[in-house]
Amino acid sequence: MAEAFAKYKAFDFQNSKEWQKYYDDLLPVPQYNQVEKFKRKWYKKNIDPSFDVEYKESENASNNGAGQQQAQGPQATPYKNPKLYLIENILKGLVFPGSLFLNPWIVKIMIILASVLAVIRNKGMIKFNTQYLILAVSSEFFHNIIFTLAMPHSRNSFVFYLPIYIQFLSGLCEYISTQPNLIPSVQSNPGFKNAIAFVKANRNYLINAKNKVEIYLFFYTIFGAFFGVTSILNILLMFQFISVKDKTIASMRQAQSEFKYSIVNVAPGPLKPTAQKFVQLYEKLLNIMAPKQ
């Protein structure tokens, strides 16, 4: 069964049109922590009837890692450097007050630098080749860089920092939890400990919320153009950002499915056909500029 599970883990769900269609048609949209269950059921029904949906990966599965890595493509070699990790989180922390008081370009530079350091930490030192690009594009931090370049350059566009706030808050809590002596007097406070634990426990939900906010901001750029808040360039950049991320980040596809379902679900009875047509048009638009599968 370990071999069958290894094949399941190596299966390319991201580029499977059959799986994507099945997932998009699920109503109501499953929660983030339920996706694995639906993946297993679909895989058993459509790929391997003998697959055990209840199988739990054992510790011995790690012994087959090298073979699985070859099947799954380029693998990351994380670059762990405590000093760079500290700088990354200092920059993350500075973004919060900086977005209120500093020049927008300075804030953008801080976001980009923190995101670049996070990509290096998770995917390895930067290499200028296709293999590294494939690794980097699967990182939420890589898309932070594209998003930051796409956001309007103005203090009045404060709302565009929300997705960055959400992810950086999660990252800061993760870092603080690994550094017990960073701020001892504060970290020993029960309320502070509970807050850190809460953010860490709900990280997946926070990332899901981040992706939804990015989707909403795409539509905000469209309406904002009529009031001079955003520009046509912002719209095009945000559209490219959303469409590419939809094809490379699983959590964004989850958020997209929930967004499309909510649009149809909240529409009053007479407007449901219009809402469904809107969703269909939106799906077609996403596929115009996205990479071909």
> How many other C-beta atoms can be found within 10 angstroms of the C-beta atom of residue 2?
12
* pLDDT band at residue 293 using 50, 70 and 90 as cut-offs: very low
Mean of the pLDDT values across residues 115-133? 90
Find, among 158, 163, 174, the residue nearest to 141 by Cα: 163
pLDDT of residue 142: 94
195, containing H or E segment: helix 190-201
- Whether 223 shows a pLDDT value over 70: the answer reads yes
Q: Which amino acid makes up residue 130?
A: T
Work out how many domains the chain is built from and give that number.
2
Residues 129 and 102 in one domain: yes
pLDDT of residue 60: 45
Token pair 């959303």 is at which residue?
Answer: 242
pLDDT of residue 167: 93
CB 208 within 8 A of CB 30: no
| Burial tier of 156 (Cβ tally within 10 Å: 0-12, 13-18, 19+) | exposed
CB 211 within 8 A of CB 254: yes
Residues 126 and 249 in one domain: yes
Please give the model's pTM, rounded to 2 decimal places: 0.73
pLDDT of residue 115: 96
Residues 232 and 249 in one domain: yes
Residues 30 and 146 in one domain: no
Question: How many residues comprise the chain?
Answer: 293
* pLDDT band at residue 58 using 50, 70 and 90 as cut-offs: low
Range of the domain at 50: 1-6+19-73
Residues 143 and 180 in one domain: yes
- Whether 57 shows a pLDDT value over 70: the answer reads no
| Burial tier of 176 (Cβ tally within 10 Å: 0-12, 13-18, 19+) | buried
- Whether 75 shows a pLDDT value over 70: the answer reads no
In a domain, 14, yes or no: no
SS3 content of the chain, % helix, strand, coil (to 5): 75, 0, 25
In a domain, 11, yes or no: no
Find, among 242, 233, 88, the residue nearest to 171 by Cα: 88
The mean predicted confidence, pLDDT, of the chain is 83
Q: Choose the weakest-confidence range: 63-72, 186-195, 209-218, 249-258.
A: 63-72
